[in-house]
Amino acid sequence: MDPILVEYDAGITCVDAMYVQPGHACCYLMVENGRAAFIDTGTGHSVPYLLETIKLKNLNVEDVDYVIPTHVHLDHAGGAGLLMSKLPNAKLVIHPRGAPHMIDPEKLVAGTIAVYGEEKFKQYYGEIIPIEEQRVTVAEDEHEIQLANRTLKFLDAPGHARHHFCVYDKTSNGFFTGDTFGLSYKELDNEDGAFILPTTTPVQFEPDAWQNTLTRMLDYQPKNMYLTHFGCVTEIDRLTAQLREGIDEYANIAKSCMNSENREQKIKEKITENLKTKLRERYPENEVVTFIELFKSDIDLNAAGLEVWVKRLDKVA
């Protein structure tokens, strides 16, 4: 099982989580002075690749101090329990709202099955293993930890999910963004740079909170954003603008469908059209077709998340 790795500066390695398909989700291994941390874990199926990466770096399982899922969606945290069981010295660092779900994953599993269905759940996530409470560190907003001499700082990051934090690393001047900086699959990189799409997975999309989170992150003037889907992006100003616009457009599309019949289907059609229009500005038609196919499951999830959000608005109104 050879892991697919991308090496970045500052002791940061991107490890393909082999979730759904290569290039779809990743985890990061950070090494500082012989001590290591994983940021995001992928699923249980990703863990063998993570353990192999430790070996390739001439490290031992004892050298890993932290396992840090950015939030408890299972493509980011599903493998955390299994991974922790292999790393005797590691602490799990997690958002306060995520911690109960890592200690007792029952509700999380039920919620994920509700979104993906039983069959896909088994195929993608396997078994979810609980983590002993004594090994869990809760990171409130602005909490800091030390990896050897390196400081990692946690920012509460609602918008994609309320149990989401982002991790600021001064050494690389970068954020580990989980899903807070959207999706940017490398297949879409071209001479115009990277392409970003928001991810509004059920059930806690909050557009206003998301915009505020981005403002807080940009205060740090980061040079790198390490995305889970997928890899490092730079050109922060252009991509932030693209992401902010995408979040606004998604919220407006969902609101415009408020009173439609088959609302989720209508939202799905409209966000697909919206994506096609953006893709056509950058790519020839045959590639647009390929990329729409690549985003198929994201479009489904985004539509489902927008439906949950607009339903909540509807109830309040």
User: Which residues have a Cβ under 8 Å from the Cβ of 295 and sit 6 or more positions away?
Assistant: 183, 197, 275
Question: Closer CB to Zn ion, residue 188 or residue 257?
Answer: 188
Among residues 16, 40, 65, 75, which is the contact residue for Zn ion, using CB under 5 A?
Answer: 75
Q: Quick one: 16 or 65, whose CB is closer to Zn ion?
A: 16
We find the least distance from the C-beta atom of residue 91 to Zn ion, in angstroms, to be 22
Phi, psi dihedrals of residue 201, rounded to the nearest 5° = -40, 140
Question: Smaller CB distance to Zn ion: residue 73 or 263?
Answer: 73
DSSP string, 198-246: ----TT---HHHHHHHHHHHHTT--SEEEETTTEEE--HHHHHHHHHHH
Positions in 108-147 near Zn ion (CB under 5 A): none
Name which of 11 and 205 has its Cβ closer to Zn ion: 205
Residues 6+ apart with CB under 8 A from 209: 158, 159
Binding mask 292-311 for Zn ion (x = CB under 5 A): --------------------
Kindly provide the b/e burial profile for residues 128-147, where b requires at least 16 CB atoms within 10 angstroms of the residue's own CB.
bbebeeeebeebeeebebeb
Work out how close the CB of 178 gets to Zn ion at its nearest, in angstroms, rounded to a whole number.
7
Closest separation between CB of residue 75 and Zn ion, Å? 4
Tell whether residue 40 is a contact of Zn ion (CB under 5 A).
no
Q: Which stretch binds Zn ion (CB under 5 A): 42-50, 71-79, 126-134, 257-265?
A: 71-79
Min separation Cβ 310 and Zn ion, Å: 21
Cα–Cα separations (whole angstroms), residue 5 to 18, 27, 190, 223, 233: 11, 10, 21, 21, 16
Q: For the sheet with 224-227, list strands across it.
A: 144-147, 150-156, 165-169, 174-178, 224-227, 231-233
Our CB check for Zn ion shows the closer of 12 and 74 to be 74
Taking CA atoms, 285 is separated from 59, 176, 188, 269, 281, in Å, by 47, 33, 13, 18, 10
Question: Which of residues 27 and 29 has its CB atom nearest to Zn ion in the complex?
Answer: 27
Among 16, 179, 206, 264, binds Zn ion (CB under 5 A): 179
Rounded least distance, CB 73 to Zn ion, Å = 5
The nearer residue to Zn ion, 75 or 156, going by C-beta atoms, is 75
What's the closest the beta carbon of residue 274 comes to Zn ion, in angstroms? Answer: 20
Residues lying near Zn ion in the complex (CB under 5 A) are found at: 75, 179
